[in-house]
């Protein structure tokens, strides 16, 4: 039986950014709900997903004023711009129409529509899974520092589910190098079907602290 997480109602994030200035941010209940949804819909390992979201928010701050607005923009499964009438989805459909034709195009468009409809459901979903809630609440439960100060990006793995962890790692390294990023093994991040995690070589290695 999974233990009930300790609740830190309004945890405070603190960090020093690239300009040397100290920042702090008080996490709200609305922020937590967005993080619950991210853990539910963004894939594994969820612990690393949550930490990376917090670190990327801090890295970009004050571009986004709160975690809720940042997560909705960064997490594709709940991003309004990827809904059926959103700008990202409309642009994606236009690309499909240029790249494919015939039955292949029909299948691609149906899949894109299915995922767009699903995203809107995800964005308002009530997350009652103790697993996802515990991941977020346990991160906020005690004074702690982030496990990887440079990890500020993740994406779905493009590796085949049938290759080995070592082969997936090589593909992640190549993928990252093409985009000026460094692939990082964040726990399970090179296992088939999990997310890839990256740090940016020119980023400041800061430690996000939670109290």
Per-residue pLDDT tens over the stretch 157-192: 888 878 888 888 999 999 999 998 999 887 788 887
Residue ranges of the chain with per-residue pLDDT less than 70? 1-6, 148-149, 201-206
Q: Could you give the CA distance from residue 52 to residue 38 in angstroms, rounded to a whole number?
A: 11
**pLDDT at 158 (0 to 100):** 83
Q: What is the DSSP string of 9-69?
A: SS-EEEEE-TTS-EEEEE--HHHHHHHHHHHHHS-S-HHHHHHHHHHHHHHHTTSSSSHHH
Q: Could you give the CA distance from residue 87 to residue 191 in angstroms, rounded to a whole number?
A: 33
**pLDDT at 1 (0 to 100):** 46
The predicted-structure confidence for 65-75, as pLDDT tens digits, reads as follows 999 999 999 99
| Distance of alpha carbon 57 from the chain centroid | 10
- 36 contact partners, CB below 8 Å, separation of at least 6: 127, 132, 133, 136
The torsion angle over the Cα atoms of residues 210, 202, 148 and 22, rounded to 10 degrees, is -10
* Residue 123: closest CA among 77, 183, 163: 77
Domain boundaries, the chain: 12-31+43-74+143-210
């Amino acid at each position: 039986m999974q233990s009930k997480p300790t609740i830190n109602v309004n945890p405070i994030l603190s960090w020093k950014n690239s300009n040397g200035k100290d920042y702090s941010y008080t996490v709200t209940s609305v922020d937590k709900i967005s993080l619950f949804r991210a853990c539910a819909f963004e894939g594994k390992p969820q612990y690393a997903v949550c930490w990376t979201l917090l670190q990327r928010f801090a890295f970009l701050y004050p571009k986004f004023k709160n975690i809720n607005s940042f997560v909705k923009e960064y997490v594709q499964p709940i991003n309004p711009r990827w809904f059926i009438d959103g700008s990202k989805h409309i642009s994606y459909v236009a690309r499909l129409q240029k790249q494919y034709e015939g039955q292949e195009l029909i299948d691609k468009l149906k899949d894109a529509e299915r995922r767009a409809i699903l995203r809107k459901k995800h964005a308002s979903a009530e997350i009652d899974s103790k697993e996802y809630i515990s991941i977020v609440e346990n991160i906020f439960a005690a004074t702690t520092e982030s496990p990887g100060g440079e990890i500020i990006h993740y994406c779905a793995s493009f590796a085949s589910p049938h290759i080995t962890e070592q082969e997936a790692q090589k593909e992640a390294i190549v993928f990252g190098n093409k985009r000026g990023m460094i692939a990082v093994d964040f726990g399970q991040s090179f296992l088939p079907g999990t997310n890839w995690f990256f740090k940016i070589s020119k980023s400041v290695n800061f430690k996000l602290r939670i109290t």
